[in-house]
């Protein structure tokens, strides 16, 4: 078996632009153009290692930001629906105006944005550690609201979030908890 059978020649024509670009890239790598084409382009392509060039970074970043915005809007709408289910009334205009930008910013910091009030069982529950705050009468109800606030500062080292504050402000005594 001769050299030509083991290593057959392969020829094709390039346009002027592609030829000059190939020569420039080969010069940067200090290789002849034919060797550069074989080692850096054809061999990796045939081995399945050559990957397509991704879109420009700006388009990728814009797509990520659009996805993040859609996720924040979904979270905001879920929160509004849960508020409506728990309190039977839509969120106030001021709460809506303050809460929507807060959700967009917490999307990055991943703060908890769940309501601490469970309307079905008529209890307040810490969303971080699941501690329950129950009451039998109006005096205990007021004490439990205060205890919940102390619990957040003492046990979780943070102030109440805007959502937690608005829920506690809107919460009215409606009977003993289950």
Write the DSSP assignment of the chain as a string of letters.
--HHHHS--------HHHHHHHHHHHHHTTS-HHHHIIIIIIHHHHTT---PPPPPHHHHHHHHHHHHHHHHHHHHHHHHHHHHHHHSSPPPHHHHHHHHHHHHHHHHHT-----SEETTTTEEE-TTT--EE--SSHHHHHHHHHHHHHHHHHHH-SPPPHHHHHHHHH----S---
Q: Give the closest residue to 149 by CA, choosing from 136, 135, 167.
A: 167
β-strand pairing of 123-125 with 117-118: antiparallel
pLDDT digit string (tens) for 4-60? 888 888 888 889 999 999 999 999 999 999 999 999 888 888 888 877 766 677 777
- The C-alpha atoms of residue 62 and residue 67 are separated, in whole angstroms, by 9
Residue 110: predicted pLDDT: 45
83-104 per-position pLDDT tens digit = 888 888 888 877 777 777 666 5
Residue 108: pLDDT band (50, 70, 90) is very low
What are phi and psi for residue 3, nearest 5 degrees?
-60, -40
Q: Is the dihedral of CA 87, 88, 92, 98 positive or negative?
A: positive
Q: For residues 43 and 75, what is the distance between their CA atoms, to the nearest angstrom?
A: 48
- Cβ contact 33:20 at 8 Å: no
pLDDT score at 113: 63
Q: Are 139 and 97 in contact (CB under 8 A)?
A: no
Kindly report the pTM of this predicted structure.
0.40
């Amino acid at each position: 078996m001769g050299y030509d059978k083991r290593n057959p020649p392969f020829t094709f024509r390039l346009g002027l632009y592609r030829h000059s670009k190939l020569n420039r890239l080969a010069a940067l790598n200090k290789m002849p153009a034919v060797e550069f084409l074989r080692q850096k382009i054809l061999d990796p392509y045939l081995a399945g290692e050559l990957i397509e060039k991704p879109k420009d970074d700006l388009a990728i970043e814009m797509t990520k930001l659009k996805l993040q915005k859609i996720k924040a809007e979904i979270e905001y709408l879920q929160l509004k629906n849960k508020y409506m289910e728990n309190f039977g009334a839509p969120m106030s205009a001021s709460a809506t105006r303050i809460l929507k930008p807060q959700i967009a910013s917490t999307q990055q910091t991943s703060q908890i944005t769940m309501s601490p009030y469970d309307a079905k069982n008529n209890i307040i529950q810490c969303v971080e550690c699941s501690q329950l705050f129950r009451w039998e009468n109006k005096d205990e109800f007021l004490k439990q609201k205060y205890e919940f606030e102390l619990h957040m500062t003492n046990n979780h080292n943070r102030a109440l979030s805007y959502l937690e504050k608005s829920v506690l402000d809107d919460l009215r005594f409606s009977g003993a908890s289950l």
